[in-house]
Amino acid sequence: MRSVEPEVYLVARPQIDYDAMAAYLREVGGERWLERIDRGELEAQDLVEFAGKMCYRSWEPGLNPNVRKVRDDQAVYLQNILKQAHGSVLEHASFSFVLHNVSRVFTHELARHRPGTAISQESLRYVRLDELPFWFPDWAREDAELMKRATALLNELEQFQLWMAGHFGLDEDETRMHEKKHKTSFMRRFAPEGVATGLVWTANIRTLRHTIEARTDQGAEEEIRLVFSKIGEIMRTEAPALFGDYTVTDGTWIPGWRKV
């Protein structure tokens, strides 16, 4: 048994081709909008604002004869998007995270969130368990008797994994991949649901806002609350105008504008 902590790595974020945007904006007379942008600073926010302004051709007053006034300040513009629940424009910006050392308890819950996500999860049919990495929350670590019994149980399960691998001859040269997969999948049934594993999870901003709220709720499970608090902190840095409306109390993230 190896004691681990759930970790979050942001591995991909939107990247804008500002030259291509400029070429389009020259076509429609909206170049001045791009001049106001601090290129490369907050690209997710630039992308969302770009998508929103395209809807009404509101790069500047008069391009659409119906529009006499435009919001020049990006933060103000994006707050209005949230306020108006114009959430579809948030779907253009996606972020990819590696969620490392998370349990199968966590991944079962995460997979319930469907729109705007992509998942690639470590396969425990291919990847043989030769140890059982496991996260213990602080309150459990402080309980000596619990830790003694839990560690003994996990060590026994780990030994059983190793015994099965030998028993099935999985490291023998002649054992084919098909047979390894078959037996590895059988063996994982003897791993606890708390075994630490990992996945790549991609979500757009609309989905991120909804899942951060749902999964940091007081009623949510402690591991997923921990991970989504970390994701919330990352997103506040990545797109402050789109995640700055949350109030965080005791780890619960409550948005200023709900259900965008």
Ligand X SMILES: Cc1cc2nc3c(=O)[nH]c(=O)nc-3n(C[C@H](O)[C@H](O)[C@H](O)COP(=O)(O)OP(=O)(O)OC[C@H]3O[C@@H](n4cnc5c(N)ncnc54)[C@H](O)[C@@H]3O)c2cc1C
Which one of residues 177, 178, 219, 247 is an interface residue with ligand X (CB under 6 A)? 219
CB of 214 to ligand X, least distance (A): 4
Which residue lies nearer to ligand X by CB, 24 or 257? 257
Element (H, E) at 148: helix 144-167
Which residue lies nearer to ligand X by CB, 114 or 178? 114
Which residue lies nearer to ligand X by CB, 67 or 200? 200
Q: Does 176 interact with ligand X (rule: CB under 6 A)?
A: no
Which one of residues 19, 20, 65, 112 is an interface residue with ligand X (CB under 6 A)? 112
Q: How far is it, in rounded angstroms, from Cα 194 to Cα 183?
A: 21
Q: Does 250 interact with ligand X (rule: CB under 6 A)?
A: no
Which one of residues 68, 69, 114, 176 is an interface residue with ligand X (CB under 6 A)? 114
**Residue 30 near residue 39 (C-beta atoms within 8 A):** no
Task: List all residues 6 or more positions away from 42 whose beta carbon is below 8 Å from its beta carbon.
Answer: 74, 238, 239, 240, 241
Choices 31-39, 148-156, 170-178, 212-220 (CB under 6 A): range interacting with ligand X: 212-220
Q: Is 63 helix (H, G, I), strand (E, B) or coil?
A: coil
Which one of residues 4, 51, 200, 220 is an interface residue with ligand X (CB under 6 A)? 220
CB of 62 to ligand X, least distance (A): 37
Q: How far is it, in rounded angstroms, from Cα 186 to Cα 105?
A: 19
Backbone angles phi, psi at 95, to 5 degrees: -130, 140
**Residue 83 near residue 54 (C-beta atoms within 8 A):** no
Which residue lies nearer to ligand X by CB, 116 or 240? 116
**Residue 208 near residue 188 (C-beta atoms within 8 A):** no
Q: Is 185 helix (H, G, I), strand (E, B) or coil?
A: helix
Binding site for ligand X (CB under 6 A): 112-115, 210, 214-215, 217, 219-220
